[in-house]
Amino acid sequence: MSLTSSHPFDEALRLVPGADPGTFSGQPHPAYGNMVGPFGGITAAQLLQAVWLHPDRLGEPVALTVNFAAALRDAPFHIQARAARTNRSTQHWVLEMRQVGEDGAETTVITGSAVTAVRRGTWSSADAPRPDVPRPDSIARPEVPRSVRWIERYDMRPITGHMPMRWDGSESSSLTQLWVRDEPPRPLDFASLTALADVFFPRVWLRRAVRTPIGTVSITIYFHAGADELAATGTGYLLGQARSQAFFNGFFDQSAELWNEAGHLVATTHQIVYFKE
């Protein structure tokens, strides 16, 4: 049995090249549906995939920023990935996703940028050690809410900061720690790591136990591993840790880290999120 051949994540990543280099068409995958439109992590992964598939790509992803300019519809979209600058060992990408809206006109729904690079071996150090937590197989998998499809696509083992059981406005820490991997298991790569960076439920819900409307406005992911390190991670779990630093007049931040089971900090990620009240 192949773990990847018919995985819904690989289905979601299927982009069809257009006539112009760097143009692709694709669509949200129902298995990664959110309350409205698709899970933001899958959209970010699709944008990175456009870079990955580009025939002129140099090296591997180092940074990705995705700006969610408008709510995506569950309908086809177009991606353009343009290499704005190619240097000797780094390359700067400008990304855009467009989609036909309800009024029949195609508009920009996502803007973004990426940096790819040919990495060279250097002195390296993980200064943020992985927290000492119980192993994933020692933690029971909680009931998955059936209202949101994409959550079924992740095997999450919460350690601390799980979704509030009662929405009673009681304030608490915004910290979540959990083990997480694709469901069914799938070997880690840059695309799946990108989606995993957005796997944390909204910090403001945890912080306040109030389910206010939210939406990620911009996410940035820094990759601290190469393809070899991701491959070595395989289908193992990642330890994810997320918390907020500031909630101010309609927007809050989230900073998160993702370590593999061997303790390698494979990605750090930050986002700014709209919240309503």
Binding site for its own copies (CB under 8 A): 62-63, 65, 67, 69-70, 84-85, 87, 90, 92, 94, 96, 107-109, 111-113, 115, 117, 119-128, 174, 207-208, 217-218, 220, 222, 224-226, 243-251, 253, 255, 257, 265, 268, 270, 272, 274-277
Nearer residue to its own copies within complex by CB, 149 or 224:
224
Nearer residue to its own copies within complex by CB, 150 or 223:
223
What is the rounded distance in angstroms from the CA atom of residue 185 to the CA atom of residue 42? 16
Nearest 10 degrees: Cα torsion 262, 49, 216, 183: -50
**What's the closest the beta carbon of residue 13 comes to its own copies, in angstroms?**
23
What is the rounded distance in angstroms from the CA atom of residue 100 to the CA atom of residue 108? 9
What is the rounded distance in angstroms from the CA atom of residue 71 to the CA atom of residue 77? 12
Residue 267: CB atoms within 10 A of its CB come to 25
**What's the closest the beta carbon of residue 219 comes to its own copies, in angstroms?**
10
CA distances from 264 to 48, 208, 235 (A): 22, 32, 15
Q: Which residues pair with 90 in a beta bridge?
A: 117
Provide Rg for the chain, Cα atoms. Answer: 18
**What's the closest the beta carbon of residue 81 comes to its own copies, in angstroms?**
12
**What's the closest the beta carbon of residue 190 comes to its own copies, in angstroms?**
14
What is the rounded distance in angstroms from the CA atom of residue 158 to the CA atom of residue 137? 11
CA nearest neighbour of 78 among 38, 28, 25: 25
Nearer residue to its own copies within complex by CB, 133 or 139:
133
Nearer residue to its own copies within complex by CB, 35 or 126:
126
- Is residue 75 within 8 Å of 224, Cβ to Cβ? no
**What's the closest the beta carbon of residue 153 comes to its own copies, in angstroms?**
27
> What b/e string do you get for 107-145 counting C-beta neighbours within 10 Å, with b at 16 or more?
eebbbbbbbbbebeeeeeeeeeebeebeebeebeeeeee
**DSSP designation for 222:** E
Nearer residue to its own copies within complex by CB, 149 or 270:
270
**What's the closest the beta carbon of residue 56 comes to its own copies, in angstroms?**
15
- Is residue 141 within 8 Å of 157, Cβ to Cβ? yes
**What's the closest the beta carbon of residue 269 comes to its own copies, in angstroms?**
9
**What's the closest the beta carbon of residue 83 comes to its own copies, in angstroms?**
10
Nearer residue to its own copies within complex by CB, 121 or 145:
121
Nearer residue to its own copies within complex by CB, 85 or 135:
85
Nearer residue to its own copies within complex by CB, 133 or 272:
272
